[in-house]
């Protein structure tokens, strides 16, 4: 059964069809939330909340927007709301100072040496991603984790295409700087100009 | 490194360049070692990001499916609100967007007085029940004389392209007769737009709204606002949490005994950034849960 058929059935209250949609998108939503929140428990809670909202709102869903774009937007909104509530509760601690949580699965690698290198690289990238500003992290997660096109990111975050393009470039530059400071990636020394633009 | 090529390099990695842009970039990368190095570096960085994985909790799907809340009612046809002879008070006409959404069983007389009026005192008879009749059974507004029937707000208002999540609905009573009544809700997307909108409420102090909904709020949210008028201050309106695409569901409740003072309400709800500043969204109405339906 295709996705649009599943959506139609779920709109009509078919829980089995909705379960299939959950199966397709559960990991993507959870992963997006995990990269934005850095806390597995919070990411699970947000995933649950998002799917409940989707289920409740499906009767109003017109299908003129991509289902996935709607889903990722709800996830982004839920995460940002949670981040801001936490910031308020903690007294506005900058996100960059939050300790990243490392409870993540690393892909298996063929040799112990490669595994170690890959693990180090993944951990560095993971830390770097969590150290980015909220603005940079959101676009990079949607691009690299969720695999959205620039157009889809623009729709999800209500940005124009030019902003998406420049923000992703700036996010990459910021991540490069973090990784260089952490001792990863020494291929080049980008100037600060892109950040200032 | 050439700044002019930084965004091109990034977009190339994402497959977002035109053929011409790609050719331009390829030529440049052959001539500029710094930009070529950046391209390589970002390729590795991107690959590392895409290789990140995660493992959702094993019971997450069950948690989601076992706790599913009640699904919203299927989208209703927008129908006229029928005030079927509210007992007592000659009429409690709900006025939305300047349109009297009345569908009365008998001729109506509007009371503009502000004094509380027990609904059961006026007509001297037993309270008349709310009508449950189907829409198709409604008499024609034309043939019914004083009775009117209007679709609530915004037939012809386009649906918004991406569903909008609304939360935190609030109702503020504002000054009847001097507020921007409209048959649709307005999406406000910036503090500046909010300030311009609040100018339309010259007799009301809405500074609390300006203070709460500042630039920081509008970075990731919109504010949706609707103004309703009713011929009784006893009628209560609210915007429940909902996902909106074609129309905003306005809940209302009307007590058996109410006042006949004219009232206006500014309803607000916080939205995400799906909708655009200045966009209009239609309204539809339903009775609050636990109240007697007046549809």
As a whole number of angstroms, the distance between CA B83 and CA B150 comes to 12
Whether the CB of B277 is below 8 Å from some CB of chain A: the reply is no
Q: How do the pLDDT tens digits run along chain A, 197 residues long?
A: 788 899 989 988 999 999 999 999 999 999 999 999 999 999 999 999 999 999 988 887 766 568 898 899 899 989 988 888 887 676 654 444 333 433 333 334 446 666 667 777 788 999 999 999 999 999 999 999 999 999 999 988 888 999 999 999 999 999 999 988 877 655 444 444 444 33
CB B54 within 8 A of CB A27: yes
Q: pLDDT tens, B87-136?
A: 333 333 344 433 333 322 323 222 333 333 333 333 333 333 333 333 33
Closest residue in B to A163 (Cα) is B7
Residue A47, number of CB atoms within 10 A of its CB? 29
As a whole number of angstroms, the distance between CA B228 and CA B234 comes to 13
What residues does each domain of chain A span?
1-93, 102-197
Any idea which fold A1-93 has? Rna Polymerase Sigma Factor; Chain: A (1.10.1740)
| A74-78, B188-192, B211-215, B246-250: range with lowest mean pLDDT | B246-250
Token pair of B220 as six digits? 């990731």
pLDDT at B288: 55
> Which residue from B11, B63, B163 is facing A65, i.e. has the nearest CB?
B163
- Contact across the interface for A12 and B74, Cβ inside 8 Å: yes
Half-sphere exposure of A56 (CA within 13 A, CB side): 20
The residues in B 113-152 lying below 8 A from A, measured between CB atoms, are none
Res. B201: pLDDT tops 90: no
> Which residue from A69, A158, A185 is facing B41, i.e. has the nearest CB?
A185
Nearest to B173 by CA among B206, B211, B139, B218: B206
Residue B123 φ then ψ, to 5°: -90, -10
CA distances from B245 to A21, A73, A119, B279 (A): 20, 14, 44, 12
Any idea which fold A102-197 has? Arc Repressor Mutant, subunit A (1.10.10)
ipTM here: 0.81
- Contact across the interface for A158 and B274, Cβ inside 8 Å: yes
Whether the CB of B38 is below 8 Å from some CB of chain A: the reply is yes
Residue B271's DSSP bridge partners are B166, B222
């Amino acid at each position: 059964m295709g996705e649009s058929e599943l959506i139609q059935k779920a709109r009509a209250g078919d829980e089995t069809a909705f379960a299939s949609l959950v199966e397709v998108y559960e990991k993507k939503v959870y992963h997006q939330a995990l990269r934005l929140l850095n806390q597995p428990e919070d990411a699970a809670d947000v995933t649950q909340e998002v799917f409940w909202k989707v289920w409740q709102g499906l009767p109003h869903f017109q299908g003129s927007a991509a289902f996935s774009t709607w889903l990722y937007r709800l996830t982004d909104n839920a995460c940002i709301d949670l981040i801001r509530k936490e910031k308020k509760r903690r007294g506005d601690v900058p996100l960059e100072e939050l300790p990243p949580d490392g409870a993540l699965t690393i892909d298996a690698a063929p040799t112990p040496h490669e595994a170690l290198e890959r693990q180090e690289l993944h951990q560095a990238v993971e830390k770097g991603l969590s150290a980015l500003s909220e603005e940079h992290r959101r676009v990079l997660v949607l691009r690299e984790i969720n695999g959205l096109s620039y157009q889809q990111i623009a729709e999800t975050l209500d940005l124009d295409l030019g902003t998406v393009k420049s923000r992703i470039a700036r996010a990459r530059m910021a991540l490069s700087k973090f990784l260089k400071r952490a001792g990863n990636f020494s291929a080049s020394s980008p100037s600060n100009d892109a950040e200032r633009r | 490194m050439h700044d002019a090529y930084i965004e091109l390099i990034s977009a190339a990695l994402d497959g977002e360049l035109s053929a011409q842009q790609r050719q331009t970039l390829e030529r440049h990368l052959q001539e500029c070692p710094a930009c070529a190095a950046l391209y390589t570096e970002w390729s590795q960085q991107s690959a590392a990001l895409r290789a990140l994985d995660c493992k959702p909790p094993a019971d997450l799907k069950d948690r989601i499916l076992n706790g599913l809340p009640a699904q919203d009612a299927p989208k209703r046809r927008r129908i006229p609100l029928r005030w079927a002879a509210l007992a007592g008070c000659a009429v409690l006409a709900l006025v939305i967007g300047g349109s009297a959404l009345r569908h009365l069983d008998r001729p109506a007389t509007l009371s503009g007085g502000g004094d509380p009026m027990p609904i059961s005192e006026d007509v001297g008879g037993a309270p008349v029940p709310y009508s449950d009749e189907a829409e198709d059974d409604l008499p024609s507004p034309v043939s019914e004389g004083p009775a009117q029937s209007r679709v609530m707000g915004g037939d012809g208002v386009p649906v918004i392209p991406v569903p909008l999540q609304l939360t935190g609905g609030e109702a503020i009573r504002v000054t009847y007769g001097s507020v921007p009544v409209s048959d649709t809700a307005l999406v406000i997307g910036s503090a500046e737009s909010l300030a311009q909108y609040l100018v339309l409420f010259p007799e009301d102090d809405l500074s609390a709204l300006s203070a709460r909904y500042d630039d920081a709020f509008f970075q990731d949210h919109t504010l949706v606002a609707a103004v309703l008028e009713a011929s009784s201050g006893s009628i209560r309106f609210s915007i429940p949490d909902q996902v909106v695409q074609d129309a905003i569901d306005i809940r209302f409740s009307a007590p058996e005994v109410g006042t006949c003072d004219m009232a206006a309400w500014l309803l607000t709800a916080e939205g995400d950034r799906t909708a655009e500043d200045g966009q209009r969204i239609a309204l539809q109405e339903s009775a609050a849960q636990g109240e007697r339906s007046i549809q």
